[in-house]
Amino acid sequence: MPEQQQRSMIEIKNVTRSYGAFKALDDASLTIREGEFFSLLGPSGCGKTTLLRMIAGFDNPTSGSISVGGQPMEGIPANRRPTNMVFQSYAIFPHLNVEQNVAYGLKRLKLQGGEEKRRVEEALAQVSLTGLGKRLATELSGGQRQRVALARALVMRPKVLLLDEPLSALDKKLREQMQVELRRLQQAVGITFVLVTHDQYEALAMSDRIAVMFGGRIAQVASPKEIYQRPVTRQVADFLGGMNFVKAQIVEESGASLVVDTLGFGRIKTDKPKAFVRNGGGATLGIRPERLRVLWDNATAKFEVAGKVVERHYFGEITHLIVEIPGLEKPLSVTETNDFGADDIPVGTSIRLAYDPEALVAMAD
């Protein structure tokens, strides 16, 4: 697999899509590798669906180029591209039953000797729908429709499977179950999956790599862990969950690192993000709420800050504490699991928080 993953499957070069003065996609460049689960993540209107539809052939770039499997896609209509799509609404043909839906694309290939039937059954088995072939689309639940859409696309054995927010219509529990199943399926079939989603947890849980997009531009492309832990901009950090932002003064700047002074956390040496643009002497650092730990009783840590609990929010397995730190303009948000009694800390208590300086990352505003 690792060797295979080096080969690129989709090349997106300087793609722009404008509607009049509005740019849905602005000079986006991206390489998606063969056999990887790639997610396009961003808020609505960020251009992620536009990009997916251009890969599928339902839309064309105003400028720039897209190639799939080394073949330039310019001028190739959607019905002749080596891609297949799972639509957000699933687009199950209502006048056909499950089997006929899955066999839809195969009919045209005129397969010989029961090959069509075999492939349909194989695809239905892949999505655990064996035995439901004769059901009408109208008799299926949301999760089942989703599986039919998946089988219908997979049965075509595309080079790339495109998924347009496939889980957004499912309830939370089913969604989480399908995330695991989709990931498992992708690893079993080895096809390149490109997923469009606005749900950061979905992207983090399923992808090999994620591209985070805002306003038609790609902000960062990296593995889920890196995107979460080392977001390059404040926007990316914010979109991927809670983040405490801390203002800092730059003391020293070298090629790859920064030394900064903060009010609450003292002097910190940190990696310099790629997109970092020095804006006077100031910088922004961020630390995730779960990277701050409450120090109980007399416990000590090498790095700690002291403050006072001003708010407490209970979430079942975790508690959110809002802690005011003298010198910091905004109180810190701290996530603590409830196994040690964080849910019993009264508001107004003075506490100390431990942190790892490595968890404080510098980012562009």
Partner 1 sequence: MTAAAEGSPPLRMTRARRNALLQSEPVQGLALISPTFIYALILLVLPILVVIAHSFWTQHYLTIDRTFTLENYRVALTEPIYRDLLWRSLYISLTVSLLTVLLAYPIAYFISFHGGRHKSLWLFLITIPFWTSYLLRVMSWKVILGYNGVLNSGLMGLGIIDEPSTALLYNSSAVIITLTHAWAAFAILPIFVSLEKVDRTLVEAATDLGDGPLRSFLRVTLPLSAPGVISAALIVMIPTVGDYVTPKLVGGKDGVMIANAIQAQFGKASNWPLGAALSVTTMLIVTLMAGATVLIIRAVQRLAR
Binding region for partner 1 (CB under 8 A): 56, 58, 77-80, 83-85, 87, 89, 91, 93-96, 100, 104-105, 108-109, 152-153, 156
Tokens, residue 337: 């699991």
Contact, 325 vs 332, CB < 8 A?
yes
Pairwise CA distance, residues 227 & 32, whole Å: 16
| Residue closer to partner 1, measured from CB, 40 or 351 | 40
Taking the CA atoms of 218, 210, 146 and 117 in sequence, report the sign of the dihedral they define. positive
Q: How many whole angstroms separate alpha carbon 353 and alpha carbon 326?
A: 13
Find out whether 182 and 213 touch, Cβ atoms under 8 Å.
Answer: no
- Give the 3-state secondary structure of residue 145: helix
- CB of 238 vs partner 1, minimal distance in Å: 32
CB of 208 to partner 1, least distance (A): 24
Q: Where are the beta strands (DSSP E) in 278-328?
A: 282-287, 293-295, 304-314, 318-324
Question: What does the alpha-carbon distance between residue 244 and residue 287 come to, in Å, rounded to a whole number?
Answer: 5
CB-nearer residue toward partner 1: 80 or 225: 80
Contact residues for 161 (Cβ-Cβ < 8 A; gap 6+): 83, 84, 85, 86, 153, 154, 186, 191, 192, 193, 194
Q: Which is nearer to partner 1, 106 or 260 (CB)?
A: 106
- The CA distances from residue 231 to 36, 133, 135, 204, in Å, are 21, 45, 46, 13
Q: How far is the CB of 60 from partner 1 (least distance, A)?
A: 14
Helix (H) or strand (E) holding 110: none
Minimum distance from residue 65 beta carbon to partner 1 (Å): 21
Nearer to partner 1, 97 or 333 (CB): 97
Q: Which CB atom, from 57 or from 286, has the smaller least distance to partner 1?
A: 57
DSSP letter assigned to residue 343: G
Residue closer to partner 1 (CB basis): 156 or 259: 156
The CB-of-171 to partner 1 minimum distance in angstroms stands at: 22
- Closer residue to partner 1 in complex, CB, 147/288: 147
Q: How far is the CB of 112 from partner 1 (least distance, A)?
A: 18
Least distance between partner 1 and beta carbon 96 (Å):
6
